[in-house]
Amino acid sequence: MRKRTCCFTGHRELPPAFCQELAMKLEETIIGLIEQGVQFYGAGGARGFDALAAQTVLNLKNRYPHIKLILVLPCLTQTRGWPAGDVAEYERIKAQADKVVYTAQEYTRGCMFKRNRHLVDHSGVCVCYLTKKDGGTAYTVDYAEKQGLGIVNLAPIQIRAPTCKKINSGYNLGVR
């Protein structure tokens, strides 16, 4: 099952000038993974890259109805403090997801890390948008590499998590 599952991780803030190019690269990458048999796509429900990835999977379901979007959410109150427009998009994505999993009921200091580890632990490949050497995305990519996942970083400047090494994942991870 892990070989047929991809998780996403990335920053909440995306540079507006790069969003259109990032969306195209993301779609090309997901199509490539679909063609290699990846069917399940896990996203963490955060703003920014997570939302873009979930939207892309939902859009691709029109062409590839067998693919599934799985939202792995850190807690029931994830959207507390978000702008109304972001909450509305979160709810739209959640309503269209094939499955929604909560890793905790209440917000705790470690609930985001628990969500990220759950995504990685159930995946064979991680598609990310990583531009910083620290923070939640770097932690998740580092954890994914330690777990042997193939990593596809769609950021224009390739920043590697602190302990990154080359991984032979069995996937052709080049962007087409």
pLDDT band at 165 (very low <50, low <70, confident <90, very high): very low
Cβ atoms of 95 and 113 within 8 Å: the answer is: no
pLDDT in tens, 101-156: 999 999 999 999 999 999 999 999 999 999 988 899 999 999 999 999 999 999 98
Helix axes 136-146, 111-121, angle to 10 degrees: 30
| Distance of alpha carbon 21 from alpha carbon 127, whole angstroms | 15
Q: Which residues in 11-25 are b (16+ Cβ under 10 Å) and which e?
A: beebeeeeeeebbeb
pLDDT in tens, 72-111: 999 999 999 999 999 999 999 999 999 999 999 999 999 9
pLDDT in tens, 37-54: 999 999 999 999 999 999
CA 154 to chain centroid: 11
pLDDT score at 174: 47
What's 148's DSSP letter?
T
Domains of the chain: 2-153 (3.40.50.450)
- This prediction has a pTM of 0.89
